[in-house]
Amino acid sequence: MPEGPEIRRAADRIAKVLVGEHVAEVAFGLPKLKRFEKRLTGKKVTAVDTRGKAMLTRFDCGLTLYSHNQLYGRWFTMRRPRLPNTKRSLRVALHTETHSALLYSASDIEVLDAKQLLRHPFLQRIGPDILDPQLKAEDVVRRLQMPQHNNRALGSLYLDQTFLAGNGNYLRSEILWAARIGPTRRPAELKPAEINRLARETLRISRRSYRTRGVTTTPSLARSLKERGLSYGQYRFYVFDRDGLVCHRCDAEIERRSMGGRNIFVCPQCQARTADEQRAEVVGK
């Protein structure tokens, strides 16, 4: 599933061709939305923004197109009259005189007025957007210390959109590695220096991924690995999907584990378990 950085970059592409333009033609692939085609045709797009993994395309008539890509949804932007070569099902088509913004395969799509937008169950439930430029490290610390969050294992918490919207599977592996914290640890047991480091890396890694088209490694490391002939898929991550390969920090072998029903990638040395966890394991044997 695309994570916050990918959705934000898609929003940037769509904004580039739609914002400030009047939509000359609107088509919806879902029957429940057909009634909005005439209402949106001819309207100007005023903004395209995101809340976590949801995208909000705003029109000057007061309506907003809400879309969530879920697992399979994908946006394309094309110069008219071209269409992408895909067998996916077209769900949304917004055409200006010169360009098209096209959403395929998604099913979580609605057209909402201002009141409905405020009451939307997903938007009401989620936490702050991880890419919100107003979000500070101290804000993340406060959320980590909230009663509903501070006794949960970080590997599970960092998939929970009520904690921080836009976080996801590759980001949680990369953030926890950068902060040198194991996924089974809980905010309540972190020392002040650890929780502050985790908050800083939460913002640093997610924002770097947004800026660099999904690369979470530092620019210098990415450049060095690229010069050695590694592909984008091989140099973009510190640990995610790198099980069996050496850690860039300590040369230990990266491990693939399962947590929250999904794979998580960990350096067993950089993110060593706490002394209490090791003692508990010995006692349990």
Known catalytic residues are 2-3, 53, 262
Core vs surface per residue 121-150: b (16+ CB within 10 A) or e: ebbeebbbbbbbeebebeebbebbeeeebb
In angstroms, what CA-CA distances link 66 with 33, 58, 96, 155, 255?
A: 12, 9, 19, 29, 38
In degrees to the nearest 10, what's the CA dihedral of 66, 72, 76, 82? -120
User: In what helix (H) or strand (E) does residue 77 lie, and over which residues does it extend?
Assistant: strand 74-79
Class of residue 181 by CB neighbours under 10 A (exposed 0-12, middle 13-18, buried 19+)? buried
**Helix runs in 106-178, H state only:** 114-119, 121-125, 137-144, 154-157, 169-178
Beta bridge pairs of residue 78: 100
Contacts of 131 (CB under 8 A, 6+ apart): 4, 5, 8, 50, 166, 206, 207, 210
Return d(Cα 258, Cα 181) in angstroms, integer: 16
